[in-house]
Amino acid sequence: MKRAFRFGLLPVALLALAGHLSGADPAAPASNTDELASLKADNKQLSDELASAWKESEKLKADLAASQAAFSKSADQSADLQKQLDSAKAARPETQTGAGSDASQLSDAQDKLAVALRSFTVVQDENAALKASVDKLTSDNASLGQQLDIARSSVASLQVQAAATSQIEPLRSEVRHAQDEISRLAAENSDLRARLSLQSPSPSGKPVPMRPARAPEVAAAPQAAPPPPAPAPKTYVVVEGDTLTKISRKFYGTSARWEDILNANRDILKDEKSLAVGSSLKIP
């Protein structure tokens, strides 16, 4: 029963692990492989123990059958001795000459009957103990069979989840590439629209008339307006779950500018995976 109780915890651990893997952690494929190997080993051990238990059960059943046969034989012997004792008591002569012989026969019959009764009691006790052992072993075999079925089902579920999890990271990479390509195409489209608006002629096709009094000033070469002052860089404190693409989307509306944030913070960031919660980033 200790062995059944120890393996009774295995299905609970397998179901908890299956629920944990449903979160699709990117690091899950490696851990799933180790867990799957461990579960296969436990599965084989349960199968071996179940086969051993069935062999022991068959042996106990054979012993029980032999004990029942011995019990039946002892019962028959006891009945025969009781009949002999009854016959000896009924045929006892009243004469004094045969009294010694009859008493000796009666004593022998009583001794044989007592021995047969003791043997009968021992066989009964052994029979009861064998029945209890068979019942316990049958219950253990049923419990082991249920645990083995649950373990096999959990192993199959983990195999499916491991196969699905191993495909998540390539899909995420493709989505990131697609988002970057969309952002790049949107930027190119905006740039082309700006160039077309600058190169297109005025709708009337005629020069804009100028007032005579202002002609000398207009003829002068226009001076370029001074560039607006560069905005002061913003700062952002990293929180749990942040990535450079999330921060880029939050400030610029697109995830394509995460490299700009990385380049502006090279003093504290080695790459896009070295974000630390609580660190302060400059947003260019």
Q: Are 60 and 130 contacting, i.e. CB atoms less than 8 angstroms apart?
A: yes
The token duo for 216 is 């000398």
Residue 24 clears pLDDT 50, i.e. is over it: no
Q: What is the mean predicted confidence (pLDDT) over 40-66? A: 87
CA distance 234 to 31: 40
Question: Both tokens of residue 186?
Answer: 């949107």
Q: How does pLDDT run across 91-147, given as a tens digit for each residue?
A: 655 434 455 566 677 788 788 888 888 888 887 898 888 888 878 888 887 888 888
Q: What is the 3-state secondary structure (H, E, C) of 81-126?
A: HHHHHHHHHHCCCCCCCCHHHHHHHHHHHHHHHHHHHHHHHHHHHH
d(CA 121, CA 127): 10
Structural domains of the chain sorted by starting position, each given as residue range(s) with its CATH number in brackets: 2-166 (1.10.287), 234-284 (3.10.350.10)
Confidence category of residue 1, pLDDT binned at 50, 70, 90? very low
pLDDT for residue 30? 61
